[in-house]
Structure 1
């Protein structure tokens, strides 16, 4: 079980990083469109 967890950790970290970066990109896009609308 410990080996499975050690193998899954990089995958979880990568997916979390991708999700966070895409979320930040979405927020920046929303802020940019809001500033353009104003």
Structure 2
């Protein structure tokens, strides 16, 4: 049981890492295109 919980936590941490990476990626794209939209 304890091993299942630890693996679940590892999976959650992996998902959080991927989610944060995607968030930063989308944020950088938005910042890249924002100046062209203003101009």
**TM-score (normalised: structure 2):** 0.77
Matching residue of 1:3: 3
Q: Report the counterpart of residue 26 of structure 1 in structure 2.
A: 26
Aligned residues: 38
CA-atom RMSD in angstroms: 1.1
* Unmatched runs of 5 consecutive residues or more in structure 2: none
